Amino acid sequence: MRKVTTGLALVAVATSAHAFDTSDASKKVQQYSELIACQLPDPSDYPPNQYKAVQIKEGMEAGLSTFGAVWVVHWNGDYGCSGGNGTSLPHFTVVEHSGFGSAEPVIKADFTIPNLELVKLRSMSARDEILHLEGIAYGPDDRQHQPSQRVSYDLKLEYDQFVLME
């Protein structure tokens, strides 16, 4: 019985030592974006907040398991390689741990996020399943590549979508 208890304790320690976190979500989305987008910055030239990840929903057993946890990762790039001036835009990709046991969290492309007037992300945070974004958008008199209007958005996580809070 002592060997079984020791073995289970070691498995528990190993599992928690390798628990998926915001850094892992960031790396997963970086790999994903390299498959689906162009005009991604060179790692040595990453703008602030490139591949910034926040955990918006805790797992079912906080601290023990990330099952049910949701992360949002911001990145800039040309989704779909459309090309042209102004096609490298901010994107938000959701990572969710929806599998039991040793299943890795996955990219959830079916999550919807409202279209936001956002050219550059300045900060991103999450609390109580609300994603808070602050950034810059184009104002009515701004020239191309020179946005100046500060914007702020709060998005509430509701099942498989984010809803803009008024």
Q: Tokens 């279209």 correspond to what residue?
A: 115
The answer to whether residue 5 sits within a structural domain is: no
- pLDDT at residue 118 in the model: 95
For residues 132 and 12, give the distance between their C-alpha atoms in angstroms, rounded to a whole number: 34
Average pLDDT over residues 127-155: 96
* Total domains in the fold of the chain: 1
In which domain, by residue range, is 31 found? 16-164
**Which residue shows structure tokens 């779909």?**
80
Say if 4 falls within a structural domain.
no
- Of the pLDDT bands very low, low, confident and very high (cuts 50, 70, 90), residue 128 is very high
16 compared with 129, residue with greater pLDDT? 129
Phi/psi of residue 78, each to 5°?
-95, 90
Residue 67 lies in a domain: yes
Whole-number pLDDT of residue 54: 97
Structural domain contains residue 77 = yes
Q: Is 8 contained in some domain?
A: no
Taking the C-alpha atoms of residue 33 and residue 93, their distance in angstroms, rounded to an integer, is 9
Eight-state DSSP code of residue 147: -
pLDDT for residue 2? 53
Is the model more confident about 148 or about 39? 148
Of 95-104, 113-122, 149-158, the least confident: 95-104
